[in-house]
């Protein structure tokens, strides 16, 4: 069945750019039925939607992060990626990738998450 | 922007209890409301979509109701594996999404 796996550095220095990749296996990222998204969760806090992408490359971002976020898709590798620039300690979080499914637009399949710490 | 609130923020309950969690949207979102369960150290799991539809494989003791601005997640008989944090999420403004702040259910 479909699986998602996040990958990338677990430690990023302040002011640098956080880069993560989500690899989709067991299915195609190019399906017109789905969006693909990034969600994060700071330690001990709730879930925050970062942004989403359609296989065509159309992107949608959380207004509070829009100036620093770039999400892209590589259909040849069945991957989509997140870049978050000018990071601070407030960006320390577990970062999840997920599939957005159906008309109800629910996050129905999630990666296991990857912890990213911003520290010098 | 659509804001989501949940109440209570936490609750203590016993196995077998009926538990109700409320989610409220800052404007009408029709039935575009989803519920998730998250256990410590794990990714969230989709329980309910479109306000009242049970995701495949989710036990029938979970149910959702509501439309417009007010929604409810009910666990009819709390089981040991249900102690977790529950989040609502609006998808009315797709592809822009918002999660509620969460409700932690722990053991009384």
Residue B43 and residue A96: Cβ atoms within 8 Å? Answer: yes
Dihedral sign (CA B25, A102, A57, A18): positive
* Cα–Cα dist B29/B94, whole Å: 11
Alpha-carbon distance B25 to nearest alpha carbon in chain A (angstroms): 16
Residue B43 touches partner A, C-beta closer than 8 Å: yes
**Could you tell me how far CA B67 lies from the centroid of its own chain?**
14
What pLDDT score was predicted for residue A99? 97
CB spacing of A106 vs B49 below 8 angstroms: yes
* Chain A contact residues (CB < 8 Å to B): 35, 37, 39, 46-49, 52, 54, 60, 62-63, 96, 98, 100, 102-108, 110-113
Distance CA A88, CA A72 (A): 22
Question: Is B34 within 8 Å of A104 when comparing Cβ atoms?
Answer: yes
d(C-alpha B103, C-alpha B108), whole Å: 15
Q: What is the pLDDT of residues A92-113, one digit of tens each?
A: 999 999 999 987 899 999 999 9
Q: State how far residue B1 is from chain A, nearest Cα, in angstroms.
A: 9
CA distance B64 to chain A (A): 14
Chain B nearest C-alpha distance from A9 (Å): 19
What separation, in Å, do the N-terminal and C-terminal C-alpha atoms of chain A show? 39
Set of chain A residues whose Cβ sits within 8 Å of the Cβ of B95 = 35, 52, 54, 60, 100, 105
Mean pLDDT, contiguous 10-residue spans, chain A (120 residues)? 96 98 95 93 97 93 96 95 98 98 91 98
What is the tens place of the pLDDT at every residue in B21-71?
A: 999 999 999 999 999 999 999 999 999 999 999 999 999 999 999 999 999
Identify the burial level of A109 via C-beta atoms within 10 angstroms of its C-beta, where 0-12 means exposed, 13-18 middle and 19 or more buried. buried
Q: What is the DSSP string of A60-71?
A: EE-TTTTTTEEE
CB contact under 8 A, A107 and B50: no
- Sign of the Cα pseudo-torsion (A62, A31, A74, A23, in order): positive
């Amino acid at each position: 069945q479909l699986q998602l796996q996040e990958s990338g550095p677990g430690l990023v220095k302040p002011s640098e750019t956080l880069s993560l990749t989500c690899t989709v296996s067991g299915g195609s990222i190019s399906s017109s039925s789905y969006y693909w998204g990034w969600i994060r969760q700071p330690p001990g806090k709730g879930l925050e939607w970062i942004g989403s992408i359609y296989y065509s490359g159309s992107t949608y971002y959380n207004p509070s992060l829009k100036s620093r976020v770039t999400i892209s898709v590589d259909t040849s590798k069945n991957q989509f990626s997140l870049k978050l620039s000018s990071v601070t300690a407030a960006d320390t979080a577990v970062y999840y990738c997920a599939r957005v499914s159906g008309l109800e637009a629910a996050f129905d399949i999630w990666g296991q998450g990857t912890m990213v710490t911003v520290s010098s | 922007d659509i804001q989501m609130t949940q109440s209570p923020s936490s609750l203590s309950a016993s196995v077998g209890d009926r538990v109700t969690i409320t989610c409220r949207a800052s404007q009408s979102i029709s039935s575009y409301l989803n519920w998730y369960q998250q256990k410590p150290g794990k990714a969230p799991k989709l329980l309910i979509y479109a306000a009242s539809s049970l995701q495949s494989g989710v036990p029938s003791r979970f149910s959702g109701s509501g439309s417009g601005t007010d929604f409810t997640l009910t666990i009819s008989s709390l089981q040991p594996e249900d102690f977790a944090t529950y989040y609502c999420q609006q998808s009315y403004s797709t592809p822009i999404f918002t999660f509620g702040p969460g409700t932690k259910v722990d053991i009384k």
